[in-house]
A and B are shown apart, each in its own frame.
Chain A
Amino acid sequence: MNGTVNGTVIPTVSGTADRTSVVGDAITWLNDPFNWTGQSGVPSRLVEHLGMSALAVLLAAAVALPVGIYLGHVRRGGGLAVVLANASRALPTLALLLIFASTAIGFGNRATVLAAAVFAIPPILTNAYTGVLGVDPDVRDAAHAMGMTPMRSLLRMELPLAVPLVAAGLRTATVQVIATVPLAALVGGGGLGPIIVSGFANRRFGQVLAGAVLVAGLCLVAEAVLAVAQRAVTPVGLRAPRRGRAGAAAPAPGA
């Protein structure tokens, strides 16, 4: 069976490629200045990748944060969060991406950003909902007794206490989006994904490996940076005790 990408046939039967030289080819590719300059160089691809990811997270947050915070505040709609999370697991990202790309949305980056944003909604919404819902009822009572309006109570008391979970949701969503954006390559979009996909199309497996290392590295770095950021935005009193000064961040809990 053959797969085709951008009209080019990818033979999947063992071919002529010499597998022993793949790592060498990858290193050569990564050291080639040509691959680091210009429009299709790694830096501009990286910027595009991060830009698409940021846009997708912003779109998702704009929808999911208000809804999640509101539902948590009025203590209703827990079922919605669960249904959303389950439905988003059963629906393949690729399916939604290709459906978007086949409609008026058009293919390329726009379809990818939208699809990534849709799948970023459940983690943000669920965490915001759980975070606000989990605020100690005594705190809300105290705010009420001090004469705070529900809005003021939400903004001054409940939201700051929910920050750790809200931030955890944004972090999970962001890493997931950065990991999803490479699929853009399948619908003619940009970012780092095309390095891998065009490598496959041309049977340049060194390039495939180099692209995979870049994408995987980006995701690991993003995860680590966001773990630090999450800690930084968490109010000091709510921080978990630090294990060691140089201790690496713990992985995100399964959302």
Chain B
Amino acid sequence: MITSAGDARPNPWLSWPYVRDNWGDISEALGQHVGLTLQAVLVATAIALPLAVLAHLRPRLAGAILGVSGALYTVPSLALFALVYPFLLDARLSVLIGLVMYALLVLVRNVLVGLQGVPEEVRDAARGLGYRRLRMLLTVELPHATPAVVAGLRLATVTTVALVTIGVVVGYGGLGQLLFRGFQSDYHAEIMTATLLCVALALVADVALRVLGHLVTPWLRTQGAR
């Protein structure tokens, strides 16, 4: 590699010694990142499923729920963290609430689309077999919506992994803290390492959820569906 003449010290973008010497810092940031992502997606799922079911059962509410969530989704994460932090004065909680909200919106929309995508013939068949509303929901509609739920989970998780970095505004951004510190001290290796870890984390989570989706929908496997 040829460095330009004016460079006093090498500042490579990729540096194994950096990773080796700072593994403590890196793993702490990575742990913070993974923890925030997991918690946010789990909480969001726990809220999104009942909310989507409610919107599905009461179509009058669907418009309002989707409208409000669409408007909230427009608010930038930086502003959202800044809206919440002054009241909580707790960095982790502020970031978590923001992340939960964004994941929630993605999830509600996907679950609702999945529930509404159940073919009318299938519902008719269930009704003909004497299924009540609740039983149809639990044994026909929700299983049918599983691929859409998994797709929503994948999208929400990948988005959340990237959004965690914005937490630097309140000083709790997981790998974002490394990114920002690297920028401030002009340490290229730190920026690139954190970037690659973020992307890798998103990809690993995506593949894991895809495998999970495959495992929980055995009925789709034999048909060689998408």
Which residues of A come within 8 Å of B, CB atoms?
1-5, 7, 10, 12, 14-15, 17, 19, 22, 86, 89-96, 98-99, 101-102, 175, 178-180, 182-183, 186-187, 193, 196-197, 199-200, 205-206, 208-209, 211-213, 215-216, 219-220, 223, 250-252, 254
A interface SS class: helix
CB pair A200–B170 under 8 Å, yes or no, is yes
Q: Does B123 contact A (CB under 8 A)?
A: no
CB within 8 A of B76: which of A14, A200, A216?
A216
- At the interface, yes or no: B137 with Cβ under 8 Å from chain A? no
Q: Please list 22 pairs of residues, one from A and one from B, whose beta carbons are closer than 8 Å in the complex, sorted by A's number.
A: A1-B171, A1-B172, A2-B171, A14-B90, A19-B86, A89-B158, A89-B159, A90-B158, A90-B199, A92-B198, A94-B165, A98-B179, A102-B191, A179-B79, A182-B76, A186-B169, A212-B78, A216-B76, A219-B74, A219-B75, A223-B74, A252-B70
A212 touches B79 (CB 8 A): yes
Q: Which residue of A lies closest to B181 (CB)?
A: A4
Complex: chain B residue closest to A4, CB-CB: B184
Which interface residue of B86, B106, B195 has the most chain A CB atoms within 10 A?
B86
Q: A209-B86, A216-B76, A216-B80 are in contact. Are A92 and B162 (CB under 8 A)?
A: yes
Q: Would you call the interface of chain B mostly helix, strand, loop, or mixed?
A: helix
Question: What 10 pairs across the A-B complex have the smallest Cβ distances?
Answer: A251-B70, A3-B171, A205-B86, A179-B76, A212-B82, A12-B171, A90-B202, A95-B195, A12-B91, A92-B162
What B residues does A219 contact at CB under 8 A? Answer: 74-76, 79
Q: How far is the CA of A14 from the CA of B92 in the complex (A)?
A: 12
User: Which of A90, A101, A205, A223 has the largest count of B CB atoms less than 10 A from its CB?
Assistant: A90
Expressed in whole angstroms, the minimum distance between the Cβ of B160 and any Cβ of chain A is 10
Residues of B within 8 A of A200 (CB): 82, 85, 169-170
B61-81 contacts to A (CB < 8 Å): 66-67, 69-71, 73-80
Q: Are B170 and A12 in contact (CB under 8 A)?
A: yes
A169 to chain B, nearest CB (A): 16
Let me know if B76 and A180 touch, CB within 8 A. Answer: yes
Question: In this assembly, does B176 line the interface, its C-beta being within 8 Å of a C-beta of chain A?
Answer: yes
Most buried by A among B169, B181, B191: B169
Interface string of B70-111 (1 = CB under 8 A from A): 110111111110110111011100000000000000100100
Shortest beta-carbon distance from A180 to chain B in Å:
7
Is the pair B171, A90 in contact by a Cβ cutoff of 8 Å?
Answer: no
Report if B183 contacts A (CB, 8 A).
yes
Bound: A250/B66 CA distance, A: 9
Known: A89-B159, A92-B179, A94-B179. 4 other contacts (CB 8 A): A90-B161, A93-B162, A98-B183, A196-B79
Given A19-B86, A205-B86: A90 touches B162 (CB 8 Å cut-off)? yes
Size class of B's contact patch? 35 or more
| Chain B window 152-191, contacts with chain A (Cβ cutoff 8 Å), 1 for yes, 0 for no | 0001001101110110111111001101111110101001
CB-CB under 8 A from B90, the residues of chain A are 14
> Within B19-78, which residues are at the interface with A (CB < 8 Å)?
66-67, 69-71, 73-78
A208–B83 alpha-carbon span in the complex (Å): 7
Greatest chain A CB density within 10 A among B67, B162, B163, B172 is at: B162
Residues of A within 8 A of B85 (CB): 200, 205, 208
Tell me if B192 is interfacial: C-beta within 8 Å of chain A.
Answer: yes
Are B74 and A15 within 8 A (Cβ)?
A: no
CA distance A193 to B89 in the complex (A): 20
Of A89, A182, A250, which one neighbours B78 at CB under 8 angstroms?
A182
Report the bound CA distance from A179 to B98 in whole Å.
15
Partner of A179 from B74, B89, B170, B192 at Cβ < 8 Å: B74
Q: Give B63 Cβ to nearest chain A Cβ, in Å.
A: 9
A254–B191 touching, CB < 8 Å: no
Question: Min CB distance, B186 to chain A, in Å?
Answer: 6
Q: By the criterion CB–CB under 8 Å, are A220 and B74 in contact?
A: yes
Q: How far is the CB of B159 from chain A (nearest CB, A)?
A: 6
A3 to B168, CA, bound (A): 7
